Amino acid sequence: MVSAKVEMSKEFMKKYGLHVLLWAVMFFYFIFSPQLIVRLFNKHGKPIQVNANIPADSGRIHFVVEDLLSYLKDGENLYQLYGWSFILPETDAESDMVVRELALVAEERNYVFAVRPEHRIPNLPGKFTDLTLDFDTLGFSVLIAEDVLQPGKYRIGMVFRNASGASAVYRDKPVYYLVKTPNTLRLETK
């Protein structure tokens, strides 16, 4: 009885073994290939840190996320998130915070992306018009490869670090969300 089952199993594998192997390879390809391709081949849109510690909240940071657009760079399909941000210097001190980063924060994980400075002249509230702001570095854009994000709802925040990396502050107000579903990436405001 056992030898008959073994014989049938051998016969089945001889006849359909290649098909079973191809189906298994296709299954693993569709599950793991998008993230593997991004990690191995994409040059742009990757986070600089995953599950990093988020610094303390600071009311000195002001930022606005203006839009999320499809973006093509070096043949890679990416998304570009752009807006403007600045930090108010502490009283009687110059602000040494020079590095901006964008944080996407969810309960399960978070991502930190490098920010590219861009020229932007926003409609600033009246209380900021007396500030001398550098409009060449006020604006920002961030390139995000859709497949590096796991599905979820990510709160968008801005991190300012000093050049040495010794101190950092974070702000996630006003509230913006980046929502990643298996097939889409969209910006939500509240």
Q: 110 with 128, same domain?
A: yes
- Confidence at residue 117, expressed as pLDDT on a 0 to 100 scale: 85
d(CA 58, CA 60): 5
Answer whether residue 146 shows pLDDT above 60. Answer: yes
pLDDT confidence of residue 92: 47
Whether residue 156 sits in one domain with residue 114: yes
Instruction: State the virtual CA torsion across 36, 78, 46, 62 in degrees, nearest 10.
Output: -150
Looking at the structure, do residues 26 and 110 belong to the same domain, yes or no? no
Each residue's pLDDT tens digit, 3-14: 777 777 788 888
Mean residue pLDDT across the chain: 80
CATH number at residue 142: 2.60.40
Count Cα atoms within 13 angstroms, Cβ side, for 13.
7
For residue range 15-72, what is the model confidence (pLDDT) as tens digits?
Answer: 888 888 899 888 877 777 666 666 677 778 888 888 888 888 888 888 889 899 998 8
Rounded to whole angstroms, what are the CA distances from 25 to 20, 28, 147, 148, 182? 9, 5, 20, 22, 21
In total, how many domains does the chain have?
Answer: 2
Name the residue range of residue 176's domain: 49-189
- Do 108 and 21 share a structural domain? no
Residues 55 and 12 in one domain: no
Structure confidence by residue, pLDDT tens digits, 86-130: 887 665 445 555 788 999 999 899 999 999 888 766 665 555 556
Does the pTM exceed 0.75? no
Write phi, then psi, for 176 (nearest 5 degrees).
Answer: -130, 145
Greater pLDDT, 139 or 91 = 139
